[in-house]
Amino acid sequence: MLSTVIGVVVLLLHAAGVLAAMHAVMNTRTPQGAFAWALGLVLLPYVTLVPYLYLGRSRFHGYVDLHRVRREQMHALANVRLETGATSREACARYAEIAHMLGTHFHAGQTLRLLVNGDATFDAMLTAIGEAKHCVLVQFFIIHDDALGRRMQQVLLERARAGVEICVLYDGIGSHALPHQYVDTLRDAGVSVHPFATQRRSNRFQLNFRNHRKIVVIDGRRGFVGGLNVGDEYLGLKPPLAPWRDTHLQIDGPAVADLQRSFAEDWHWVTGALPPLLLPQPGEGHSQTLIVTTGPADRQETCSLFFVSVIQAARKRLWITTPYFVPDQAVMSALRLAVFRGVDVRVLMPSRPDHHAVFLASGLYAHDAVRAGIRVFRYQPGFLHQKVILVDDDTASVGSMNLDSRSFRLNFEIGALNVDRRFAMQVEAMLREDFSHAHEVTEAEYLRAPYLRRLAMHVARLFDPVL
């Protein structure tokens, strides 16, 4: 009798695996991902069926379609109030396809402040929030209830009691450890706070889509965007990854309107309402800035295409810093072609892991990159989390995008692409300091690694679609 029950269960599992494999073949975005899921689901449904329920969905049509419609409606509403005019500077023409793809444009006149670490970032951010007069928009992937999280909470509570309208959005997965008491304290003081979810009706099997954006906007005039979340580790206070290396950007000028718009799209999706939308001040700076918003609701794989376009624009220099170096085929090909054009291509990545599978896969891609003539460096003092790109002598990007499949296809991301020689010089000086604390990767790193470690690298790369 027991053997009959076991046989029926095994048969049902294999039948479910075949059905799930058919779904994977029809819906997974990349052929590699479809093949990997289908093979595992058919041969080992006992191992892969449950992970597929949680991680296998890279297209979620009901959510994507509805979010796209809502976003376009919100975009039309916001345009009436936020239109600030475009710039036609020749230097920005190299990136015209990015602006066209995203349906936006460069804004002239930004004043930029490079925030080179967590202390500088949160000192500037919390001071700006503390000076808010009308409204504050806050969005992070991770908010922790620790010393920094409570500093953020206190300044928001103080502004809320002063009558400032405050909207807070956090990712429900990234901030899964955030206690209800933290959120309730904000709500009791009049702060509007919500977790971001990829659909309004609960779906316990949907973990793939995540909102990885980090946005703060104060009174529609000053904005912050970059790689830092709200947690003590981002101040370098949590070994073994300390000191934490990260970068953020402060923007004053018309481009803040697009930071507002991105926040409003996500807020409107979650709440069905619009947050306060205020006009920014006219630009008094020198930077031409394009706010780049990407995500799984886009018709194209906009994040991957953004990287490809920026890489193709480089003629002299392309320096990239990323915590996760897991490029897709299009990005890797663009990097190789940049080397053939004579571009100084460098990638700065961590020397210690925060996610072991990604770290292993990154090591294999680093080996492939070195063989292709790309210079790869490992940052030594602590964990490198910054997401910065420097192109030639005039362009620098700071944002939340990682160089991996999750950012390319599954996460909502945001960044600022800035054309400004003076700002690019500041970024260059920062990166030269970072490179001075790094060692260059050679082919020997892979070739001298133990066989089992090299095998683990190749196995980890099989999971590219979900890393």
Say if residues 392 and 316 touch (Cβ distance below 8 Å).
yes
Active site residue 385: yes
Q: Which of 67, 144, 214, 367 is catalytic?
A: 214
Burial, 383: exposed, middle or buried (Cβ in 10 Å; 0-12, 13-18, 19+)? buried
- List C-alpha distances in Å: 119 to 181, 237, 239, 348, 379: 26, 11, 17, 22, 19
Say if residues 128 and 121 touch (Cβ distance below 8 Å).
no
Q: Which of 298, 328, 385, 394 is catalytic?
A: 385
Active site residue 194: no
Which residue matches tokens 């619009």? 274
Q: Which of 171, 246, 258, 392 is catalytic?
A: 392
Active site residue 212: yes
- Residue 347: CA atoms inside 13 Å, Cβ hemisphere, count? 33
For residue 290, list its beta bridge partners.
417
Burial, 241: exposed, middle or buried (Cβ in 10 Å; 0-12, 13-18, 19+)? middle
Q: Which of 67, 144, 212, 248 is catalytic?
A: 212
As given in the structure block, the two tokens for residue 427 are: 């970024």
As given in the structure block, the two tokens for residue 432 are: 């030269």
For residue 252, list its beta bridge partners.
111, 222
Which residue matches tokens 């230097």? 91
Q: Which of 219, 246, 258, 394 is catalytic?
A: 219
The Cα–Cα gap between 233 and 241 comes to 8
The Cα–Cα gap between 354 and 10 comes to 37
Question: What 3-state class would DSSP assign to 285?
Answer: coil
With vertex at residue 185, the alpha carbon angle to CA 184 and CA 188, rounded to the nearest 5 degrees, is 80
The Cα–Cα gap between 23 and 19 comes to 6
In the chain, what is the greatest distance between 2 CA atoms, to the nearest angstrom? Answer: 81
Catalytic residue list: 212, 214, 219, 385, 387, 392
